[in-house]
Amino acid sequence: MARGILVLFLFICGVSAQNLVVKNAGRKVELNLVYSHLLVPYPSKIVQNQPQLVKYSGNAYPFLPYEVVSAKTVVTLSSNNIESYTKVKPVSVTDTSITYGPYENLPAFSEEEITVHYENNAPFLTVASLKRWIEISHWGGNIAVEEDVDVLHTGARLKGAFSRHEYQRGQSGPSSVASYRTFLPAAASSIYYRDDIGNISTSRTKILEDTVEVELTPRFPLFGGWKTKYKIGYNVPSYEYLYSRGDNFILQMRFIDHIFDEMVVDSAEVSVLLPEGAEDVEIVFPEYPGIEKKADSIFKTYLDTTGRKVITATKKNIVENHIQDFQVKYRLPSWRLIFEPLLIVVACYLMFLVIVIYVRLDFSISKDEAVEARMKAAGVLENVLSTQEKRDAIYTSLDAAIHTLKSSKDVNGFQSALKNINADHKNLAQSLGDQVSRLRSLGVPDLADKILDLQKLDKTLKDIVGQQVSLAERLVGNKIAKGNYVTEDATLGKKREELLERIHSIIGSL
């Protein structure tokens, strides 16, 4: 109270007397003062279903450094339930207001303390601490805003235990707070509302013509002495608040946002995270006293080298009247916009260059001939397996040619296909023979012997397939009965399957 009176006194004394009063004339001056924490809960503790009573203390007379010819003080209340009030005649009561005066010819600095004790179940919410973080991104064309809010119910403290059952029935907690509305800029998007536990889903967003209304519902109702802490954040496009001319930029945003109706913020800290490389930074605060600028700091995040400059300011005792714009002016060279992409390109290039150099270097002190031999032998084995797969494919092609011969009886076409198949088989057999010689030169005779066994089995398999070819030709030339052909071909097929099992067994052991 005394501080508010002092502010009023300094304001009045600071106004030029020439502007206020002219001889034989007058001037009308309207003053609007907002006090915080002036209403005191009385009693200070109440039970859950009890209404809240508060006590107001003030002055029945205007506290001015001038003589007052006529004065009247009207105290407007939130309800008509008045427990008691100071009677300084003349005084009158009408429903929800108490009128003191009019008083005539009051001397300067007149005082007459009055007290009003009445019912007030309005939400006594106070933001004990507010930390507002504004991050500018030139690359994304975005401004991200996040607020850490500590809300305290400063009304009469809850006495006794809390009953959720009674509260849900709506028969208690007249001064408690279940939810409240906050207003964000009209361009706000990607809104989130969470606390230390995680996302709080009990919120609703309503897009209006010039704002975004968010109804916030805490995880539990707030009674006197209870508090909650949460984060709320959103994004806005930078073109709404960031203005530029060449390399010069001006950010113009609200110092604080609307948190709830008739809000009181005990302490606020606003930080602006500028792009990396911002220079010649200047901040222009709203035109009201009490804002203190803290020392600049550096914040490092992804792809930063020197870090980003953080501008921070604090203010205590904030009300809705303090919702005004502030400006941050800075210069950002144009080449800074391509610095981070270039940084990514250079980093990727250096990483791949290091990988290329690493895989090509031999860090061993001396060569290990045994290891090299095993590596070369492994390469030979890969060729062997690939050659064997091709040879299996040749046998499959030969079976298909035999089937075509029996159905079409085209002997000339079959002989041409058989000639090509035999030539391919011969080349593959020769290739496997070369691999055997190479394995012996590498000092792995056991693998060479297995491949020799594979060659022998394949030679026997080739002979059996040749017999199947001969049978098919005889069948087409009507030189063998169909029944005899089926019997002999089945016998050869059984021998062929046994050979294939042995061949696959050797391949599996390589």
Ordered DSSP codes for 295-335: PPEEE--TT-SS-EEEEEEEEEEEEGGG--EEEEEEE--GG
Mean pLDDT for 120-142 is 91
**Residue 17 reports pLDDT greater than 60:** no
CA-wise closest residue to 44 among 251, 224, 286: 224
The confidence score (pLDDT) of residue 287 equals 81
Q: What is the overall mean pLDDT for the chain?
A: 85
Distance between CA atoms of residues 91 and 82, nearest Å:
14
pLDDT of 23 > 60? The answer is no
| Average confidence (pLDDT) over 446-475 | 84
Q: Is the pLDDT of residue 366 over 90?
A: no
At residue 169 the predicted structure's pLDDT band, cuts being 50, 70 and 90, is: confident
Quick: pLDDT tens for 312-365. Answer: 999 999 999 889 999 999 998 887 777 778 888 998 999 999 999 888 886 766
Per-domain boundaries in the chain: 2-33+53-119, 125-338, 369-509
The predicted model gives 401-424 an average pLDDT of 84
The SS3 of residue 377 is: helix
pLDDT at 367: 61
Residue 119 has pLDDT above 60, yes or no: yes
Q: Which of 11-15, 212-216, 304-308 has the lowest mean pLDDT?
A: 11-15
pTM for the predicted model, two decimal places:
0.64
Residue 126 pLDDT: 94
Q: Are strands 45-46 and 68-76 parallel, antiparallel or unpaired?
A: unpaired
Edge-to-edge strands of the sheet including 91-94? 68-76, 97-106, 91-94
Bridge pairing between strands 180-184 and 203-207: unpaired
Identify whether the C-beta of residue 99 lies closer than 8 Å to the C-beta of residue 156: no
Closest CA to 321 of 379, 256, 276, 268: 256
Q: Which helix (H) or strand (E) holds 149?
A: strand 142-153
pLDDT at 18: 47
With a cut of 70, say whether residue 22 has pLDDT above it: no
Distances (CA, A) of 134 to 250, 257, 312, 464: 14, 12, 10, 84
Residue type, 169: R
pLDDT(26) > 70: no
Give, for 127, the enclosing helix (H) or strand (E): strand 125-137
pLDDT higher than 60, residue 473: yes
Neighbour tally for 73: CB within 10 Å = 19
125-338 is classed CATH 3.40.50.300? no
Average pLDDT over every residue of 200-222: 90
The fold for domain 369-509 equals A middle domain of Talin 1 (1.20.1420)
